[in-house]
Amino acid sequence: MPKSSTLESTNTLRKSAQAEPFVFPPAWRLRTGRTTSMIESFYHAIVGIGTGLKEQRNLRIHFCLSFIVIGAGFALRVDTVSWLALVLSMGLVIGAELLNTAIEHVVDLSAGGQYHLAAQKAKDSAAAAVLVAALCATAIGLIVFLPRLCSLFPGLTR
């Protein structure tokens, strides 16, 4: 990647960071390193979720599916243990997707716009982790919801 292109993308990132909808002291946005306040830590975490939702289609899909699962859980009167399994699996998938996004950004940054086989393997492994989490969450969803749906619609079991 040419230097001018990298410089342009860096300037674009800086401009988008300055246009944040949240109003916090500018020092929080400019400083790097360790946070000193719990409020500041929560702020950065919320900004990270917001950035992920804006930039990552799959994260938006996982969030939408989580709301559908929550609605289905209320509609089908899921018991407490099943809620625990559902909430943990949804959190695992969303957390894995956020980690995947972070890994992709770090790999892109370290690769400097060049193709590296190791960078591709790192990205593929991170994506595989999300896939495994999503498959486990799907299995948990089927275990929780399928018996309830079959009891509501007895014709499905024939």
CATH architecture of 57-158: Orthogonal Bundle (1.10)
Q: What is the mean pLDDT of residues 113-117?
A: 89
CB 51 within 8 A of CB 104: no
87 pLDDT above the threshold of 80: yes
Return the amino acid letter for 64: C
Query: 9-18, 58-67, 100-109, 145-154 — which is least confidently predicted?
Result: 9-18
Please identify every residue annotated as catalytic: 97
- Domain parsing of the chain, residue ranges: 1-55, 57-158
The whole-angstrom separation of Cα 5 and Cα 11 is: 10
- DSSP sequence for 73-117: HHHTT--HHHHHHHHHHHHHHHHHHHHHHHHHHHHHHHHTT---H
pLDDT tier at 22 (50, 70, 90 boundaries)?
low
The answer to which of 133-137, 142-146, 149-153 has the lowest mean pLDDT is 149-153
pLDDT confidence of 75, banded at 50, 70, 90? very high
